[in-house]
A and B are shown apart, each in its own frame.
Chain A
């Protein structure tokens, strides 16, 4: 990034804003603070009118319940906007007021109907409940039936309707009657205002309500028609106005004196020339300077630059935290690790191919800026790994192995159905659990090791002590890894790693500790683990984190766990359905079996997508990123860019 300062005469203000908006190159730093010469600029004159129009338009959009344009957005001309908005507003506010009035009336009538209903059931005219000196009428809902005998010798008269009761008693006895009524689940009601038969009143209210409901439906119908007609205009006009308001209010971010204005901001270094060429032709002075390695008072904003296939992964980085200007962009790290982990957990040629197809279809159908486009792209890349690993390592498609595992010849496989796939599985998931777990540990070492090296690179130009600590942790990780490899040598992959890639590793074994920990420890591993003491340069208690690092490494065993678990679920479904239903020889069962098969495969596929996707990201976010990635940077938002960054 380069810091750029633009200075020009005030009368050029609006043309410069136009140019900057079009270029989308400068991340403006808001001018703060006043002094004698420079103060915060005032919005351009049309700002007030434009804001008002925008407000009106938003209220119109709200009344019409417009969310997004139904068809292609309409072309709008900003100079005709105001007229159109005003006439539309006139039309719509009238309808809206009528609608509100009808809604209020209907709500009132609903209340009235609710009040009258129990009284209509009782049948007494409303005036009968009022105007007594010594008698108190108690009216309400009641849960059980009541007769005058239940009130004992209390002077009272009872009128009953379905679920309602009216008891007339003397005022002196009200409390005692209420106590008895309480036992019958009595809930008292207010007597509604008015005179005459409540039944007639109720009928009148219901008729009234129907009339108003009809009127409301008519209004709603007219509003729906208006929406259909104007939705495209409203959406397009709102966008156009937002742009105009952005431009008109831009001077609020500039420093302005009596005759000049100053814009301060960041420009991507290689594009400074474009900015200069465009503005200097307009008579604007442009001064720019490269960033001083980030030793400015405020960090420059961050624009991630990645090769094309890794670009869609950037949103996953922003989701976690935007990298700061001083650290390596971890997108490539994530681009390699996350899809690979995803593929390892899926590990199935069939599902892998489906993920790829899904990714391709989505990238053709969806808009590139949409978040779903990115999500499908990311899963597609993961699917590629799943396909490769499924074909050449696990020898499996749709949860079924190509060939039965050696020694388990009755296992259901593609071979059972006469489909011969000319690749042999290197690892049979169901029977190679230890292989899977050791591989997970191996990936943990590689992934976390790379994380520490990134961390070292981040810290070296910054804080030598912290960089040293990263190396210490790297050595500790390698110690733990060599120790685990040594103690898991009974596994063929661990044996191979110990014998070939680690052939140079000193073989001296520390035996004194073996009684204590339960395993023999290679001396060199022990020494390397103590490399964590270098972390003392970071903090006195840092070396305690050795246990945490071990937990991080073990955390990767989820790769094995999910991989085997998903395959096991798919295999269980396949075996039950294929052997039980499809191969039963009856047509009904065959059809049923195929339906179940599709549903169960879909379930495994979706579950795999969600769980493997989340876990692959989590291993990066949690285990690896805390080793080197601090984040907290400001994303580069050039003036004129209107895509939202929120995920």
Chain B
């Protein structure tokens, strides 16, 4: 059983990074869909740009796992 404070910290990390990612993807995603309407062949590049901010939540996940000490 992990330390309760560590568990809360992990939760805050996930919530914060998740929100940050969502916000960033919203901005990029909107622009990407707009660009794709004009040029459908931009799908590949648009997708990559759109999911770049996911790095934030992935790092959040790493930190959260570290906080919990152990993945279980």
Contact = CB atoms under 8 A, between A and B. Distances in A.
A220 interface: no
A434 B41 contact: no
Interface stretch (B3-11, B22-30, B50-58): B50-58
B55 A548 contact: yes
Nearest to A517: B66
B15 interface: no
Contacts of A437: 71
A320 B51 CA distance: 14
A94 to B, nearest CB: 39
B44 interface: yes
A434 B54 contact: no
Nearest to B40: A646
A557 interface: yes
A304 to B, nearest CB: 15
Contacts of B41: 321
A618 B47 CA distance: 8
B58 A555 contact: yes
Nearest to B52: A622
Contact of A554 (B47, B48, B51, B61): B61
Interface string B30-55: 00000000001101110110010011
B19 interface: no
Contacts of B40: 646
A518 B61 contact: no
Nearest to A317: B44
Nearest to A438: B71
Interface in A553-568: 554-555, 557
Contact of A320 (B44, B62, B72): B44
B43 A319 contact: yes
A427 to B, nearest CB: 14
A561 B45 CA distance: 26
A299 to B, nearest CB: 15
A320 B45 CA distance: 8
A551 interface: yes
B39 to A, nearest CB: 12
Contacts of A621: 44, 47-48
A554 B62 contact: yes
A626 interface: yes
Contacts of B66: 518
A437 B58 CA distance: 13
Nearest to B69: A518
Contact of B47 (A548, A550, A557, A622): A622
B59 A320 contact: no
A490 interface: yes
Contacts of A81: none
A173 to B, nearest CB: 54
A488 B71 contact: yes
Contacts of A488: 71
Contacts of B45: 321
A576 B71 CA distance: 28
A433 interface: yes
Contacts of A434: 71-72
A635 B72 CA distance: 48
Interface string A269-297: 00000000000000000000000000000
Contact of B71 (A433, A555, A622, A631): A433
Contacts of B72: 433-434
A557 B62 CA distance: 10
A239 B11 CA distance: 60
A320 B44 CA distance: 4
A320 B43 contact: yes
Q: Which of A621, A622, A625, A631 has the most CB of B within 10 A?
A: A622
Interface string A185-223: 000000000000000000000000000000000000000
A557 B61 contact: yes
A320 B43 CA distance: 6
Contact of B70 (A490, A554, A618): A490
Given A437-B71, A488-B71, A622-B51, A551 B44 contact: no
Interface string A603-647: 000000000000000100110011000010000000000000010
B19 to A, nearest CB: 18
A625 B51 CA distance: 13
Given A433-B71, A488-B71, A490-B70, A554 B58 contact: yes
A631 B44 CA distance: 9
B59 A321 contact: no
Contacts of A625: 44
Contact of A555 (B44, B47, B48, B54): B54
A477 to B, nearest CB: 16
A622 B48 contact: yes
Interface of A: 319-321, 433-434, 437, 488, 490-491, 518, 548, 550-551, 554-555, 557, 618, 621-622, 625-626, 631, 646
Interface of B: 40-41, 43-45, 47-48, 51, 54-55, 58-59, 61-62, 66, 70-72
**Cβ-closest 6 pairs across A and B:** A320-B44, A321-B44, A551-B55, A554-B58, A551-B58, A434-B71
Given A320-B44, A321-B43, 18 more contacts: A319-B44, A320-B43, A434-B71, A434-B72, A437-B71, A518-B66, A548-B55, A554-B62, A618-B47, A618-B51, A621-B44, A621-B48, A622-B47, A622-B48, A622-B51, A626-B48, A631-B44, A646-B40
